[in-house]
Amino acid sequence: MDAAPIACSLGRDDLAERQQRWHTLAARAMLDVLSTDDGLRLRFRPDPGVEAELRELAALERDCCAFADWTVHGDDDAWVMDIRGTSAEAVPAVREMFTSVRAAATAREE
């Protein structure tokens, strides 16, 4: 079976709206972004509405970025989204996707 192409299927306007949602969530509740062997782990405070937004974003991302697996789960003190590249080529793409989200979370802290 062929690996999914490493590309986002969103148009420019939809991509901008999606990025805004990620930035808003990151500025509001992101704790940290950690690189993993196969992608990223994003951790968020367990504030009201965070779980629902993460689950909705994961579902949306599965549709447009099929080169990654998107899972959401809770741990002791946070909501966690694991994003795993489905191929060796997809891992750097996953890590690159969230560069601006990291910046949004960092700006909140300053």
Please say if the pLDDT value at position 21 is more than 60: yes
Report the alpha-carbon angle 11-66-75, nearest 5: 110
pLDDT tens by residue, 89-101:
999 999 988 887 7
Q: pTM for this structure? A: 0.86
Domains assigned to the chain: 12-109 (3.30.1360)
Confidence of residue 6 (pLDDT cuts 50, 70, 90): confident
Q: With the C-alpha atoms ordered 55, 60, 62, 66, is the resulting torsion angle positive or negative?
A: negative
Model pLDDT, residue 39: 95
Please say if the pLDDT value at position 107 is more than 80: no
Model pLDDT, residue 14: 86
- CB neighbour burial string for 66-91, b if at least 16 within 10 angstroms, e if fewer: bbbbbebeeeeebbbbbbbbbeeebb
For residue 58, which of 74, 43, 71 has the smallest C-alpha distance?
A: 71
